[in-house]
Structure 1
Amino acid sequence: MSYEIEKIIQQHDIILFDAICVLCNGWAKFLIRYDRQSKFKFASIQSPLGEAILKYYGMSTADYSTMLVVYNGQRYVDSSTFLKVMQQLKFPFSLSNIGYLVPSIIRDFLYRRVALNRYQLFGTTSSCLLPSQENRSHFLEHAIHEA
């Protein structure tokens, strides 16, 4: 399936997540609950669409070690992904902006330690987070097909 990635990233704020990672699935479920306007759209890195977005940004599709967030067409990786998403949520989550006071070299080091060891620390799942009637507005594939 061919996607017009440039058009997609201009139209949507996107979170690419590792669908087999328990921590990543938990993060996605948290955002589905608290991103009530469905501002961010999810795509799995294991999906053809997720892989196409990774390739567009010149990122590996084989060795995935960071969540990717596309916000207003800008790419964010490492600790900035978490902070960028949290600052878009309502209070009290927006208070996480205080994290920007920590130098990015320290934030990113800590983020990468967790990311590189996420399977050992949190495990993997054999069932992917799938769009349901209630949450499909949060998924990029659905948003593209609805447009």
Structure 2
Amino acid sequence: MQKITEQTAVVIFDGACNLCDGAVSVITRHDPHKEFELVALQSIQGQALLSQYQLTDVAMDSVVLIKQQHSYLRSDAVIEIAKRLHGWPRLLRHAALLPKGLRNAIYNLIAKHRYRLFGQKAICQLPKK
């Protein structure tokens, strides 16, 4: 497993979730400088990072971003990821204008129903670089 450095940005995502898989595709397409390492939470590396940052209990329904030795969850992670992307996904950074409670309430509602709304894969596929 790669050590998290000041320059590393790691996105930990639910590899079985079709919505998350779509988000990973968006990140991959709009990250021309390859700033993000993408890791499925079901992977050994994902579980080790969640344990290292004491996120094992809170990360199952959240995308996680680890950068500069700090972890971001839910809408904070989405906003921080969007800041580094190019193209239309960069617009998601403007969600920071909304109160955090409202942002996370919307995020949690979608996360709670993501399998029913978007489906689920039987096998977690790691993103192609």
Q: Does 1:34 align with 2:30?
A: yes
Deviations 1:24-59 (A, max 9, x none): 001001111110111010011000110011111212
SS of residue in 2 equivalent to 1:83: helix
Corresponding residue to 1:49 among 24, 45, 49: 45
Q: Using structure 2 for the length normalisation, give the TM-score.
A: 0.88
Residue 65 (structure 2) aligns with = 69
> Aligned pairs, how many?
129
Q: Percent identity?
A: 27
Corresponding residue to 2:12 among 10, 16, 35: 16
Structure 1, gaps ≥5 residues long: 136-147
Matched to 1:87, the amino acid is K
Matched to 2:109, the amino acid is R
Offset, 1:110: 0.6
Check conservation: 1:9, 1:70, Cα contact below 8 A: no
Query: How far apart in 2 are the matches of 1:37 and 1:63?
Result: 26
Structure 2, gaps ≥5 residues long: none
Offset, 1:88: 0.8
Q: Using structure 1 for the length normalisation, give the TM-score.
A: 0.78
Query: How far apart in 2 are the matches of 1:55 and 1:131?
Result: 22
Q: CA RMSD in A?
A: 2.0
SS of residue in 1 equivalent to 2:32: coil
Matched to 2:116, the amino acid is Q
Distance 1:86 1:63, change over 3 A: closer
Q: Does 1:123 align with 2:111?
A: no
Distance 1:114 1:9, change over 3 A: farther
Distance 1:61 1:97, change over 3 A: closer
Distance 1:71 1:125, change over 3 A: same
Residue 106 (structure 1) aligns with = 102
Residue 141 (structure 1) aligns with = none
Normalized per residue, the structure richer in helix is: 1
Question: Greater CA radius of gyration, 1 or 2?
Answer: 1
